[in-house]
Amino acid sequence: MSEDLLTTSKLIIKDFNLEESDLPSVKAVEDLRAALLKIVSYLLNNDFEKFILAMYRIDISETKVKTILATSDPENIASELTDLIIERELQKVETRKKYSSN
């Protein structure tokens, strides 16, 4: 799992246009989630346009994002979006592994 986690972290760094230092080395999904939650919270409050652009790059359904924004408890929005991002990035890693020519 650690290689998948590293690949997922790299995808998140690329898709959010971050520096590697913005998402420190993670050893578990919980570490990745905690670091990403801070970034998502910041973007939601300070740079919503950058957040939306990242959602498009990650290929998260606009409908899912709008549903979370409209129906979730405001205190849970960043957390739910963070989980959605990690889930989607892990799916991409799995798909690439499945279809890579090894």
Residue from 22, 99, 101 nearest 9 by CA: 22
**What whole-number distance in Å separates Cα of residue 40 and Cα of residue 36?**
6
The pLDDT assigned to 2 comes to 80
Domains of the chain, residue spans: 2-99
Task: Please say if the pLDDT value at position 71 is more than 80.
Answer: yes
Total-model pTM: 0.91
Residue 1 has pLDDT above 60, yes or no: no
Region 73-85: what's the mean pLDDT?
97
48 three-state secondary structure: helix
Residue 28, number of CB atoms within 10 A of its CB: 11
Q: CB of 37 within 8 A of CB of 14? A: no
Q: Are 36 and 86 in contact (CB under 8 A)?
A: yes
**Can you give the pLDDT at residue 21?**
84
Query: What's the half-sphere exposure (Cβ side, CA atoms, 13 Å) at 96?
Result: 11
**Residue 100 pLDDT class (50, 70, 90 cuts):** confident
Write down the pLDDT at residue 23: 80
* pLDDT for res 86: 96
Query: What is the band of 13 on the pLDDT scale with cuts at 50, 70, 90?
Result: very high
